[in-house]
Amino acid sequence: MDRRAVLLTGASGLLGHWLLHRAPPGLDVVALTHRRALSGVPSVSADLRDPAMVAAAVASVAPALVIHAAYAPDQASIVDATRHVVSAAASAGAAVLYVSTDAVFGGDGVARGEASVPDAGWDYGRWKAAAERIVLDGSERAVVVRLPLLVSIDPDDHALGRIRASADGGPPTRWFTDEFRRPALASEVAAAIWRIAGLPADARAGCWHLAGAERLSRFELACHMVARLQLPEAVIEPATHPPGTDRPRDIAFTDARARAAIAWNPSPIRFLI
Find the mean pLDDT for residues 31-49. 90
43-52, 147-156, 262-271, range with the lowest pLDDT: 262-271
Q: What pLDDT sits at residue 272?
A: 62
Find the mean pLDDT for residues 108-123. 96
Q: DSSP 3-state helix, strand, coil percentages of the chain (rounded to 5)?
A: 40, 20, 40
pLDDT of 59 > 60? The answer is yes
Q: What pLDDT sits at residue 271?
A: 67
pLDDT of 3 > 60? The answer is no
Predicted confidence band of residue 2 (pLDDT cuts 50, 70, 90): low
Predicted confidence band of residue 247 (pLDDT cuts 50, 70, 90): confident
Q: What pLDDT sits at residue 54?
A: 98
Q: How far apart are CA 148 and CA 211, in angstroms?
A: 6
Predicted confidence (pLDDT) per residue in 66-108, tens digit: 999 999 999 999 999 999 999 999 999 999 999 999 999 999 9
> Residues 121, 128, 164, 19: is their CA dihedral positive or negative?
positive
Q: What pLDDT sits at residue 242?
A: 85
Considering the chain, what percentage of its residues have pLDDT values greater than 70? Answer: 98
Predicted confidence (pLDDT) per residue in 166-199, tens digit: 999 999 999 999 999 999 999 999 999 999 999 9
Query: Which structural domains are found in the chain, ordered by start?
Result: 6-150+184-209 (3.40.50.720), 151-181+214-247+268-272 (3.90.25)
Q: How far apart are CA 160 and CA 150, in angstroms?
A: 11
Whole-structure pTM value: 0.96
- The more confident residue out of 269 and 132 is 132
Find the mean pLDDT for residues 46-70. 97
What's the mean pLDDT when you consider all of the chain?
95
* DSSP 8-state assignment for residue 206: E
Predicted confidence (pLDDT) per residue in 124-162, tens digit: 999 999 999 999 999 999 999 999 999 999 999 999 999
Q: How far apart are CA 55 and CA 136, in angstroms?
A: 19
